[in-house]
Structure 1
Amino acid sequence: MTNKDKALALINTFATGDTDVAKNLLAEGYIQHNLAYGTGRDAFLGSVTYLASAPVKTTVNNIRAFEDGDKVFLQTVYNFAGAEPNPSGRTQIDGTMEKELVNAEETRKIVSAFVGDVLRGENPEITVLQ
C-alpha cells in the first residue's frame, strides 16, 4: 500500500466510521493540522467515532491526491465542509484535474515560504505572495 493509498484510506474513515482502519494507519503521535480537531491518534479516532454517530452520514469526496516522496497531498470535500461558491464565485474544487510537470524543488520552496510567512506568521509584513 502506497502512502497515497494509506492517506486515502484514512480520510475515508470519516465516512465509513472504521476506527480499526484508522488505528492501524495512524502513529500514536499523529499531528493534526486542522485546528478544529485535537492532535494524536486517540483524538483522530474520537473524531471518526463522533462522525459515525452523527444523525447525518458524513460523505467524503476525494478530488485530487498527489504523492511526493513521503508526503501526500489530498484535496477532499466533506459533506460538513461544503463546496458552495464563495463570494468570488469559486469553490474549493475549481481548477484543473490534470497534474502539470513542475519543478518540485521550486514548488517546495514556495510552499515552505507560504507556511512560514502566512500560516505560522513569521513575516506578518508580507501581504502579497511574490
Structure 2
Amino acid sequence: MTPKELVLQAVSALFIDFDPEAAKKLLAPDYIQHNPAVPTGAAAIIGFIPALQESGVTATIHRVIAEGDLVVLHTTYDNAQAFGAETLVAFDIFRVEDGKVVEHWDNLQPAVPASETANGNSMTDGATEVTDLDKTTENKALVEGFVRDVLNGAASERITDYVSTETYTQHNPLVGNGLDGLAAALAAMAEAGQVMAYTNTPIVVAEGNFVFIASEGVLGETPTAFFDLFRIENGKIVEHWDTLSEIPSEMAHENGKF
C-alpha cells in the first residue's frame, strides 16, 4: 500500500467503520500522539473507538496530499462533541513507517458556516484536485519562501512575490478574499492586540499544486498552532485554508504539539 492508502484505511477503521481489529493492524503499538487531549500509543485511540461510534461522529475527507512518509488530510468531523464542538474542521498529519501509521499530529477548529464568514466561502470548499505534480519542488520552495519572508517577517513587503494579486481565495472565516481582505484582517487583529506571529514551521508537505505547513507561534500572547494549506497556480498562491488552536500548557502525553 502507498502511504495514502494506508492512512485512509486507518482513518476509515477509526472514524468510519469503527473497527478496532482493523485499526490494530494498521497502527504501530508505540504510535506517537501529538493531539494534546489523547494519550500516546495505539491502545489509547483504539480503546476510544466504541465511544466514538456511540457518539455518532462522522468524518468527511475533503483533501489528501502526501510527500514521502507524511500524509495530510483535510477533514470535517460532524457530531464531534467528543472532540469539543458539534462540527470541527481539522488537518490531520500522519507519518508512515514499515507499513504502519506511527505518528499523528492534528489541529481542530470549530466550523463556521459560509453564510457567516468574511469571504462567503466555507472553511473546506474550493479546489480539491491534485495537479501539476511536476511542479511539486518549485511550489514547495515558493511556500517556504512565503513562510520565511512574510509569515516570519523577514521581508513582508515581498508578499506579492508569493501571493497572486489577481486571485486569492480565502477560507479563513475572519479574512476577506484578495490581498486587500488579508491586509484588512491583519490590521484589525493588530488594533485588537491580537498580533499573529509565526515562529517555527517544523512540518512542510507538498504534492503538486498543494503545499501544507504546520507552524507554531503566538496570537496576541497565546501560544498557537497554525496549520495552513495553500494552492499554487502559475507560480503564485491563489487559495488558502487553515485551522488554528491554542497550544495548551498541559497535555495527555509528553510528545508536545509538534
Name the amino acid aligned to 2:129: E
- Residue 106 (structure 1) aligned with residue 141 (structure 2): yes
* C-alpha RMSD over aligned residues: 3.1
Normalised by the length of structure 1, the TM-score is 0.71
Letter in 2 for 1:60: A
Q: Which runs of 5+ in 1 are unaligned?
A: 125-130
Q: Which has the larger radius of gyration?
A: 2
CA distance in 2, matches of 1:39, 1:84: 30
Per the alignment, in what secondary structure is the counterpart of residue 114 of structure 1? strand
SS at match of 2:22: helix
**Cα distance change on mapping 1:21 and 1:66 into 2, 3 Å:** same
Bigger mean CA deviation after superposition, 83-92 or 67-76: 83-92
Secondary structure of 1:61's aligned partner: strand
Aligned to 1:60: 59
Paired amino acid for 1:95? G
Residue correspondence of structure 1 range 82-101 to structure 2 within 5 A: 82=87, 83-85=111-113, 87-88=117-118, 90-101=121-132
Distance 1:108 1:23 in 2: 36
What is residue 177 of structure 2 aligned with on the other side?
Answer: none
Secondary structure of the structure 2 residue equivalent to 1:94: coil
In structure 2, C-alpha distance between the alignment counterparts of 1:67 and 1:10, rounded to whole Å: 15
> CA offset at residue 87 of structure 1?
4.9
Give, in angstroms, the shift of residue 28 of structure 1.
1.3
1:67 is displaced (CA, Å) by 1.6
Change (3 A) 1:29 1:108: farther
What is the TM-score when the length of structure 2 is the normalising length?
Answer: 0.39
Verify the 8 A CA contact 1:28 1:40 in the aligned structure 2: yes
How many pairs were matched up?
A: 120
Q: Which has the higher helix share?
A: 1
